[in-house]
């Protein structure tokens, strides 16, 4: 690998070597996020050279098409494509650069694909070093890589970089997941991943606080969950993450460290693009507080426990178990029968009896539920407006934004009905009345932001076609 000098094999007109079609792949990062992707590649018949400094997934040692190597450089020798899936930007840099890094072992014409969620400036620095060696680079942050994505086959990738390299590696990318979206140059993919993740990260602590309010008023939580998931506050968090709150497991498919990193990165991007993100900053601060309060390897939904501990209230339901091996029952086997929504997204079938609550909800419970539902729908709408503005500033079109949100971990009823949704601003005062003396700083701060409709953030802005970008 030529770093710092011009590779003589590089085409002087294009600046790149011909992109090689992948046959053997190097995969760096075999942890919680990387392992499901590795399994997909092995099932697809690819031969893999693997590296992870922990080498903790011993099941891969037994696979005839998987070989563990001693360094990123060794793993990347003689392959056409190198894929990284690592927790933090510093991890990506350390595994790619230096004398034992992957770039030192890669051949001209090969491609580096980074599926991590990272700082795109970090990606650009590595990509420039790769370019000097005739190596193509793609950012392809993976979305929906949680229990829903892995078990339900809804994983997708937002790809930024050279389109020739994308087309050469598209089969590999889509072997690992359901869909891929080519979104433009490096930086666009990370922007998409970060703003769609923020939709998810915002709903999570707000819904957790809503459950605490409901619990304090004696509202049956399982009944509330069933009502909310079918309502206008329905979203990925309500539908798929509530069980991990109700069984107290907090979802082991993703760590708190990832959530802290992602929320910080998206707010940094807002500062870079001069896009105000008041709700996003509240959410970033809440996850940062969780990062200071709990071990960084704790499950990411544990952010909800900040409010549980502050109020001596648990939303856990005795005897309830999330329908996932990422919940309390690690040996849970999901149904093989899948159900599909209008857009083709899939999830395992759950009989309606699973949602049944033995406790009977009365008229007051229904009134409280409607207030909490209207408030979360309002918050989902507000954060969607903030993230759309971020995406506009990077040049993404309305149509592409809608599509990538729909296939992310941030879809919602509000997102699917954005142009006709009418937010109920009176729910802000009502939810604070219900909160009473409860210590719920996230809801309080967001209520202060979202209480007035007199703001450009509430307008149904539609980007002119001539400025639509990608």
Domain end, chosen from 131, 157, 185, is at 185
Contact between residue 287 and residue 298 where contact means Cβ atoms under 8 Å apart: no
**Is residue 6 one of the residues assigned to a domain?**
no
Give the domain CATH number at 49: 3.40.50.720
Which phi and psi angles does 18 have, rounded to 5°?
-55, 135
**Is residue 292 one of the residues assigned to a domain?**
yes
Backbone region of residue 184 per phi and psi (left: phi > 0; alpha: psi in -120 to 50; beta: other values) = left
Buried b / exposed e over 163-176, threshold 16 CB at 10 Å, is: eebbebbeebbbbb
**Is residue 10 one of the residues assigned to a domain?**
no
Structure tokens at 395: 């040049």
Examine the domain organization and report whether 85 and 227 are in the same domain.
no
Report pLDDT for 462.
39
Domain end, chosen from 150, 185, 220, is at 185
Q: Tell me the torsion sign for CA atoms 237, 239, 244, 245.
A: positive
Q: Which residue has the higher pLDDT, 1 or 402?
A: 402
60 vs 79: CA distance, rounded Å: 19
- Local structure of residue 101 (DSSP, 8 states): S
Contact between residue 42 and residue 27 where contact means Cβ atoms under 8 Å apart: no
Examine the domain organization and report whether 165 and 206 are in the same domain.
no
Give the model confidence (pLDDT) of 324-334 as tens digits. 888 999 999 88
Question: What is the rounded average pLDDT of the residues 59-67?
Answer: 84
Examine the domain organization and report whether 99 and 237 are in the same domain.
no
Report pLDDT for 457.
47
First to last CA, the chain: 33
| Domain, as residue range, for 441 | 191-467
Give the model confidence (pLDDT) of 116-145 as tens digits. 988 899 999 999 999 999 999 999 998 875
Examine the domain organization and report whether 274 and 167 are in the same domain.
no
3-state helix, strand, coil in the chain (%, to 5): 50, 10, 40
Give the model confidence (pLDDT) of 344-353 as tens digits. 888 888 888 8
Which pLDDT band holds residue 6 (cuts at 50, 70, 90)?
A: very low
Examine the domain organization and report whether 245 and 142 are in the same domain.
no
Instruction: Using alpha carbons, select from 104, 85, 101 the residue that is nearest to residue 93.
Output: 101
**Is residue 7 one of the residues assigned to a domain?**
no
**Is residue 66 one of the residues assigned to a domain?**
yes
What are the angstrom distances between the C-alpha of 344 and each of 235, 321, 360, 414, 467? Answer: 16, 27, 34, 18, 30
pTM value?
Answer: 0.86
Using DSSP's 3-state secondary structure scheme, residue 192 falls into helix
225 vs 243: CA distance, rounded Å: 9
Instruction: Using alpha carbons, select from 26, 13, 204 the residue that is nearest to residue 101.
Output: 26
Q: Tell me the torsion sign for CA atoms 338, 344, 345, 350.
A: negative
Which phi and psi angles does 58 have, rounded to 5°?
-70, -20
**Is residue 13 one of the residues assigned to a domain?**
no
| Longest alpha-carbon distance in the chain | 77
**Number of domains the chain contains:** 2
What are the angstrom distances between the C-alpha of 241 and each of 146, 234, 299, 352, 456? Answer: 10, 11, 12, 17, 31
Examine the domain organization and report whether 179 and 196 are in the same domain.
no
Instruction: Using alpha carbons, select from 447, 415, 453, 413 the residue that is nearest to residue 428.
Output: 447
Structure tokens at 151: 């078990």
**Is residue 4 one of the residues assigned to a domain?**
no
**Is residue 376 one of the residues assigned to a domain?**
yes
Give the domain CATH number at 414: 1.10.1040.10
Using DSSP's 3-state secondary structure scheme, residue 48 falls into strand
**Which residue in the block uniquely carries the two structure tokens 């807002």?**
270
Report pLDDT for 461.
42
367 vs 426: CA distance, rounded Å: 13
114 vs 92: CA distance, rounded Å: 8
Checking if the pLDDT of 25 tops 70, the result is yes
Domain end, chosen from 166, 185, 204, is at 185
Report pLDDT for 56.
65
Examine the domain organization and report whether 413 and 269 are in the same domain.
yes
60 vs 47: CA distance, rounded Å: 12
Could you give the angle at which helices 256-272 and 188-216 cross, rounded to 10 degrees?
Answer: 120
- Local structure of residue 60 (DSSP, 8 states): G
Give the model confidence (pLDDT) of 41-54 as tens digits. 999 999 999 999 88
286 vs 316: CA distance, rounded Å: 21
Examine the domain organization and report whether 145 and 116 are in the same domain.
yes
Checking if the pLDDT of 460 tops 80, the result is no
Examine the domain organization and report whether 276 and 382 are in the same domain.
yes
317 vs 422: CA distance, rounded Å: 33
Checking if the pLDDT of 367 tops 60, the result is yes
Examine the domain organization and report whether 299 and 373 are in the same domain.
yes
Checking if the pLDDT of 238 tops 80, the result is yes
Examine the domain organization and report whether 319 and 403 are in the same domain.
yes
Examine the domain organization and report whether 447 and 346 are in the same domain.
yes
């Amino acid at each position: 690998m030529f770093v710092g000098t011009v590779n003589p094999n590089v085409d002087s007109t294009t600046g790149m070597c011909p992109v090689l079609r992948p046959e053997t792949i190097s995969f760096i990062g075999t942890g919680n996020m990387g392992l499901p992707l590795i399994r997909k590649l092995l099932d697809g018949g690819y031969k893999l050279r693997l590296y992870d400094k922990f080498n903790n997934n011993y099941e891969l040692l037994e696979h005839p098409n998987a070989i563990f190597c001693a360094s990123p450089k060794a793993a990347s020798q003689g392959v056409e494509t190198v894929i990284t899936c690592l927790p933090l930007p510093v991890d990506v840099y350390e595994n790619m650069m230096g004398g034992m890094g992957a770039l030192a072992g890669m051949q001209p014409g090969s491609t580096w694909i980074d599926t991590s969620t990272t700082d795109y400036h970090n990606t650009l620095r590595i990509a420039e070093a790769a370019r000097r060696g005739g190596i193509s680079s793609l950012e392809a942050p993976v979305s929906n890589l949680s229990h829903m994505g892995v078990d339900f086959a809804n994983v997708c990738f937002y790809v930024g970089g050279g389109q020739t390299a994308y087309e050469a590696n598209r089969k590999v990318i889509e072997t690992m997941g359901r869909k891929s979206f080519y979104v433009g140059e490096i930086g666009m993919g990370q922007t998409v991943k970060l703003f769609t993740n923020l939709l998810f990260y915002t709903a999570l602590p707000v819904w957790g606080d809503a459950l605490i309010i409901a619990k304090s008023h004696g509202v049956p939580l399982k009944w509330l969950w069933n009502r909310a998931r079918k309502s206008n506050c329905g979203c990925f968090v309500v539908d798929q993450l509530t069980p991990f709150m109700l069984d107290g497991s907090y979802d082991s498919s993703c760590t708190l460290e990832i959530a802290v990193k992602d929320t910080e990165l998206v707010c940094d991007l807002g500062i870079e693009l001069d896009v105000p993100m008041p709700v996003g900053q509240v959410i970033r601060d809440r996850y940062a507080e969780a990062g200071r309060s709990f071990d960084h390897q704790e499950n990411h939904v544990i952010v909800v426990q900040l409010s549980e501990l502050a109020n001596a209230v648990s939303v856990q339901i005795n005897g309830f178990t999330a329908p996932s091996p990422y919940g309390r029952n690690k040996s849970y086997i999901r149904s093989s029968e899948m159900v599909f929504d209008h857009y083709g997204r899939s999830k395992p079938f759950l009989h309606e009896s699973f949602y049944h609550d033995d406790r009977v909800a009365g008229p007051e419970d229904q009134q409280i539920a409607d207030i909490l539902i209207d408030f979360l729908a309002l918050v989902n709408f507000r954060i969607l407006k903030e993230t759309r503005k971020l995406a506009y500033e990077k040049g993404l079109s309305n149509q592409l934004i809608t599509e990538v949100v729909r296939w992310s971990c941030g879809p919602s009823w509000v997102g699917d009905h954005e142009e006709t949704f009418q937010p109920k601003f009176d729910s802000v005062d009502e939810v604070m009345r219900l909160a009473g003396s409860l210590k719920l700083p996230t809801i309080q701060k967001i209520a202060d932001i979202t209480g007035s409709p007199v703001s450009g953030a509430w307008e149904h802005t539609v980007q002119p076609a001539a400025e639509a970008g990608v």
